[in-house]
Amino acid sequence: MKKLLLSCSLAIGFFASAQTTVIFEDSFESYTDFAIADVGSWTLRDIDLKTTYGITSGGAPVVFANSGVAKSFQVFNSTTTVPASGAGFSARTGVKNMVCFNADSAPWNDDWLISPQISITSTGSSAVSFWVKPANAAYGLEKFQVFVSTTGTEIADFTAISPVVTTPADVVWKEHAYDLTAYAGQAIHIAIRCTSDDQFALSLDDFKVTNTAPATAAPDCATLTTPSNNNTSVNPGSVTLSWTAPTTGGAPSSYDVYFGTTANPTTLLGSVVGTSIAATTVANTTYYWRVVPKNTVGSATGCSTFSFKTITPIAGCTTIANNSPYGALVPSNCNGTTAVSRTFAYAGEYSTVSLVAGRSYKFDILLKSGYYITIATDAATPVVLASGANSVTYTAATTGLVRFYSHANSTCIGATDSTSSHTRSVTCLGTLAVSDLDKSNVSIYPNPFTDVLKISDVKGVKSVSVNDISGREVKSLAPSAELNLSSLQAGLYIVNLKMEDGSVKSFKAIKK
C-alpha cells in the first residue's frame, strides 16, 4: 500500500548489526488527480512559466485536467485520462505518480518539486531515493537534479547535492539514491529540479528517505543481477549495472563499483548509495564489473566479478535481402501490454507490421535468445529503420506497413535459420505528444544557415518568430517557405512556428 509516512520507524531491512528505517515516504496516491498545486505539504514551483506538451492517442488529444497549461510537476493518474494514456505514463506502484511535462518552446524546463520538511536522524547514515522514467523513448533524454535546503522552500535556499542527471532514452523505471548523512540532526527540504531540454515528460514515483543505524560490522557482498554473467548480447551505449543489497553482515552505506575491460577491474566507475549505475560501452567488447559494499566499519571482501559482451549493431547495414513474406501483424491495442505475435516465422522470412504515425512499438523475438531484429521499409529494396538484438523499440514516422525481419546473427542478409520456428511479437507502447508528432513532419534547413532559412512545410503555420538565446524576440515574420534572416548577427536562435491550431513548434538554428 502506498501512503505517506512521517517520522515512522518501519523496519525495511535487517542486518547482523544495523537496521534501516523509513523517515518519510510518499507515493502520491492520496492527492487529487492531475493537481498542479495544493499537493499536500509539497511545494511546486514553475520557474519557466511555459505551456507544456499534451498527449495524443491515434491522432486525437488525450483529455485530462490541466493538460498543456504552464505547470511544474503534476499528480498524474494514467487510468483516469480519456482515453487511458498507456504504459509511458503508468505509475511504478499504485495508479498515481508525479509527472513533469516538458515546455513546448524555449526556454525549456525549470520546474521544482520540493518535499515537506523532513527531520534527518542524528546518528547513522541517511539517504533519499526515488524512481524516475521518461514517458517516451524517442524523446527520453530527460534531465533532473537534486537539491537540499536547511532554511526554507525558496529557490535561493537550495544547494545541489547531485550533478544534472540525464535519463536513458527508454521507458523503464530506474531508482536514484543520494546520501543525506551530511544533514544529520537537521530539518531539511529536498527538491527535484526538472531541466529537460525539449523532450516529453519525466515521471517520478516512490519518494523515500531512510536512516540506517550505525554499523558494527562490515557488509557482505551484494548480489549482481544485470547484465547477467557471461551475457553476450548486450547493446552498446549506456548500460545499467544493477545489483541487490546484501542481507547479511553490516548494512552498507554505499557501493564502490569497479568497471573495465580487464578480468579484475580496478577502475572505479563510481560510488553510489543506490543499487544501480550507468556505464558507457562500445560495440563488440567484453566488460567486467564488480560491486563492493562498504560502511563506516569497512568494505566487503571477496566479491565476485561479472562479465558481459556488447554486440555489433546491424544498424550499419544499408540493405536487407527481400526474402519472402510470412504473415501480417496489426497491433491495434495501444496500451503498452497487449502484444500481437506470429508463432511460426523463420529467419529469412519477414512479417509485415501495420504502424500508426507517432506511436512507439516494441518488437521482440521470444524464443531465440540473441537473435537480431531489423525493422525496414515495405519495399522491393527495403531500407533499414531500426535494428538490435532480442528487442527493438521504434517510433513510427508515418502510418503504414514496415517489415519485421529476424536474423540468426549480426549480418543483415546471411545466416538464416529454417530448422525451427520462433515467435515474433509486437507491442504498441503509446503515442507522442501532439507537438512532437508535428515535429516529425516539419523541419528547418539548412542548419547552420547563412542568410536564408527554409521551412520544409508551411501548411498550417500562422506566424513565425525568432528569439535569441536569452528568450528575447528579435524577428517576427509572416509564414513563408523561405525566411530572410540576413539582418541577424551570427549565433544560436530559437525559431518558433505558431500553428493555426494554437500549438507552437520550436527549433534551434545557428546563423553562421
- The structural domains of the chain, with segments of one domain joined by +, span 5-212, 223-310, 324-433, 442-511
What SS3 state is found at 143? strand
The answer to whether residues 373 and 392 touch, using CB atoms and an 8 Å cutoff, is yes
Amino acid identity for residue 89 in this structure:
F
The answer to whether residues 158 and 43 touch, using CB atoms and an 8 Å cutoff, is no
User: Beta strands 56-57 and 231-234: pairing type?
Assistant: unpaired
In CATH terms, the fold of domain 324-433 is Jelly Rolls (2.60.120)
- Among 409, 423, 425, 383, CA closest to 314: 409
The answer to whether residues 148 and 189 touch, using CB atoms and an 8 Å cutoff, is yes
In the structure grid, which three cell numbers stand for residue 411, read together?
549480418
User: 213 exposed, middle or buried (CB, 10 Å; 0-12, 13-18, 19+)?
Assistant: middle
pLDDT of residue 346: 63
Buried b (16+ CB within 10 A) or exposed e, 338-365: ebbbbeebbbbbbbbbbbbbbbbbbbbb
pLDDT of residue 70: 96
Number of H helices, E strands in the chain: 1, 41
CA 345, distance to chain mean position in Å, is: 32
pLDDT of residue 24: 97
- The Cα–Cα gap between 434 and 230 comes to 43
- The Cα–Cα gap between 217 and 358 comes to 54
What SS3 state is found at 202? strand
Please give the average pLDDT of every successive group of 10 residues along the chain, which has 512 residues: 33 47 96 97 96 82 94 96 87 96 91 98 93 87 95 96 88 92 96 94 97 89 94 79 92 93 93 88 89 93 94 48 69 82 70 83 76 77 71 78 76 49 79 40 72 80 76 80 84 76 70 76
In the structure grid, which three cell numbers stand for residue 503, read together?
500549438
Rounded to the nearest 5°, which phi and psi values hold at 445? -160, 165
C-alpha triplet 294, 299, 303: angle, nearest 5°: 105
In the structure grid, which three cell numbers stand for residue 501, read together?
491550431
Please state, as a whole number, how many other Cβ atoms lie within 10 Å of the Cβ of residue 154. Answer: 12
Whole-number Cα distances in Å, 177 to 29, 116, 274, 465: 21, 18, 5, 42
User: Beta strands 201-212 and 19-26: pairing type?
Assistant: antiparallel
Whole-number Cα distances in Å, 495 to 26, 53, 67, 506: 40, 17, 24, 6
60: which residues sit within 8 A by CB, 6+ positions away? none
pLDDT of residue 422: 64
- Among 34, 97, 91, 99, CA closest to 72: 99
- The Cα–Cα gap between 410 and 414 comes to 8
Amino acid identity for residue 480 in this structure:
S
**Do the domains 324-433 and 223-310 match in fold?**
no
The answer to whether residues 295 and 245 touch, using CB atoms and an 8 Å cutoff, is no
Q: Answer whether 0.75 is exceeded by the pTM.
A: no
- The Cα–Cα gap between 345 and 420 comes to 9
In the structure grid, which three cell numbers stand for residue 388, read together?
538490435
H/E stretch holding 436: helix 434-439
Amino acid identity for residue 399 in this structure:
T
- Among 191, 254, 194, CA closest to 222: 254
Residue by residue, DSSP assigns 51-75 as -B---EETTEEPB-TTTTSS-S-EE
**Domain 5-212 classification at class level:** mainly beta
- Among 356, 327, 512, 323, CA closest to 431: 356
The answer to whether residues 120 and 183 touch, using CB atoms and an 8 Å cutoff, is yes
- Among 266, 265, 275, CA closest to 174: 275
In CATH terms, the fold of domain 223-310 is Immunoglobulin-like (2.60.40)
Q: Give the CATH architecture of domain 442-511.
A: Sandwich (2.60)
pLDDT of residue 303: 96
- The Cα–Cα gap between 77 and 342 comes to 33
- Among 178, 180, 176, CA closest to 123: 180
